[in-house]
Amino acid sequence: MATQEDVRRIALALPGTIAATQGFAFSVEHKGKAKGYVWVWMERVDPRKPRVPQPQVIAARVADQVEKASLLAADPDKFFTEPHYHGFPAVLVRLPEISEPELRQVLVEAWRCMAPKDLVAAYDAGDAVSGTTATVARSKPASSKQTHAPAANTVAATRGTRRPAASASTSAKRTRGPAARAGSSSKAKATRR
């Protein structure tokens, strides 16, 4: 049976880990941003009220949906998910059901998913010094959501492309409203007669 104290101890032993000051969450800094890898599960008790922390359950990042599915299938008593996490690479872990060595493995793998490659390589080589662990507090738990910029090739593809040049009458129609266009067409008919 594992506890939140076990989670805290194991997480803070991993290099570069940052503990949140509000809530129960741990992250690692990657490219200047805190990337959350384990946090307390916020359970929806009442659909009309905000989620509440469930201290007996943590959410831990996984590498991908395949790893998530394999953990869920391997031991549904320890690992589960909910609709909020569908499609997101994280699994919910029941702390009373998991042993400390299993918890360590889950947390290390979650940390690997979010840590910079050089930090993971140093950890794997055994060069990671326990003094490099960070306990810098953040005012809010690290967000797991990431925003994605448009792909460079789509931006490049739109650069340099221009609309075909419009004729004078077409550009006049674009700049004037429907009433002005109606008036111009009646003037054109009057001059043709």
Give the domain CATH number at 53.
3.90.1150.30
pLDDT of residue 127: 56
CB 23 within 8 A of CB 51: no
Q: Is the entire prediction scored with pTM above 0.85? A: no
Q: Is residue 21 part of a domain?
A: yes
Q: Is residue 32 part of a domain?
A: yes
Q: Is residue 144 part of a domain?
A: no
pLDDT of residue 21: 86
Which pairs from 61-70 meet CB under 8 Å and 24+ separation? 61/36, 61/37, 61/89, 61/90, 61/110, 61/113, 61/114, 61/144, 62/89, 62/90, 62/91, 62/109, 62/110, 62/113, 63/89, 63/109, 63/112, 63/113, 64/89, 65/89, 67/109
Average pLDDT, the chain: 78
pLDDT of residue 7: 97
Q: What confidence tens digit (pLDDT) does each residue in 1-34 have?
A: 999 999 999 999 999 999 998 899 999 999 999 9
Q: Is residue 147 part of a domain?
A: no
Q: Is residue 45 part of a domain?
A: yes
CB 26 within 8 A of CB 18: yes
Q: Is residue 40 part of a domain?
A: yes
Q: Is residue 39 part of a domain?
A: yes
pLDDT of residue 56: 97
C-alpha 132, offset from chain centre: 25
pLDDT of residue 177 exceeding 60, the answer is no
**Structural domain harbouring 95:** 4-132
Please tell me the total count of domains within the chain. Answer: 1
Q: Is residue 78 part of a domain?
A: yes
